[in-house]
Structure 1
Amino acid sequence: MDSLVAHVLAWVATTALGALAGFLVSLLRRQFGREKALAKGMSVLLRGRLVDIHRRYVVEGKPCTVDVKEEADEVYAAYHGLGGNGTGTHLHDEIMEAHISRKRQ
């Protein structure tokens, strides 16, 4: 009788642990998917900000303040940290070469 109880308890414990492991794996996959989507979304927004700054101060040729250049550096650092590169690097480089204005905006 003790052997049967031990056998049933082992079976119940194994089933419970398997279910818990499956739940945890599912939870981790969902969390990883959300983090990946958030990182991608943030990367898109940061790139958009670089495009906006580039359009105004490089394409339109308006004088760029030091504050805007510092913002562009911060935006690019975050963008690059999320894996963005290529076009963002080109935009950043051209923003850094833009004419500097002494006035604050």
Structure 2
Amino acid sequence: MKDFIVKYWLECAFTAVTGVFAWAYRKLKKRVDEQELIKQGVLAILHDRLFQAGRHYITQGYITLGELKNIEYLYTSYHNLGGNGTGTEIWERIKELPIKEGENNHGNNFN
């Protein structure tokens, strides 16, 4: 009888521990999946900003040093999050633009 009780409690304990591990794994996986979705969202926003700003400056035909530094800051974050392709192509085209000193399209000099 004692062996039966010990075996029964061991099975219950094993089941409980397994259940706790399964619950913890599901919770951790959900958190990791959510973080990946947030990363992808931030990457999409950075790509959009690079695309919009790149289109603006390339059409304009020049960029100021302050604007270039701002785009570089965006691109660095974009690249570090794993972005590449069109964002990198846009960044390379922006870097080739002539730098116009002392002007800013927003009426403020941030240089």
TM (normalized to structure 2)? 0.84
Residue 41 (structure 1) shift:
0.4
- Mapped partners of 1:98, 1:92: distance in 2: 10
Task: Write out aligned runs for 1:69-88 (5 A).
Answer: 69-88=68-87
1:35 equivalenced with 2:35 (yes/no): yes
Percent sequence identity over aligned pairs: 26
Structure 1 residue runs of 4 or more that deviate by more than 4 Å after TM superposition: none
Greater helix content: 1
Contact kept, 8 Å, 1:65 with 1:100, in 2: the verdict is yes
Residue 27 (structure 1) shift:
0.8
Residue 59 (structure 1) shift:
2.0
Q: Which residue of 1 aligns with 2:48?
A: 48
Q: Which residue of 1 aligns with 2:105?
A: none
* Alignment RMSD (CA, Å): 1.4
1:100 equivalenced with 2:63 (yes/no): no
Task: Write out aligned runs for 1:13-28 (5 A).
Answer: 13-28=13-28
- Mapped partners of 1:32, 1:79: distance in 2: 20
Query: What is the DSSP-based 3-state SS (H/G/I as helix, E as strand, rest coil) of the residue aligned with 1:101?
Result: coil
Contact kept, 8 Å, 1:43 with 1:79, in 2: the verdict is yes
TM (normalized to structure 1)? 0.88
- Write the letter of the residue equivalent to 1:83: G
Residue 74 (structure 1) shift:
1.5
Residue 83 (structure 1) shift:
1.2
Structure 2 unmatched runs, 5+: 103-108
- Mapped partners of 2:15, 2:50: distance in 1: 53
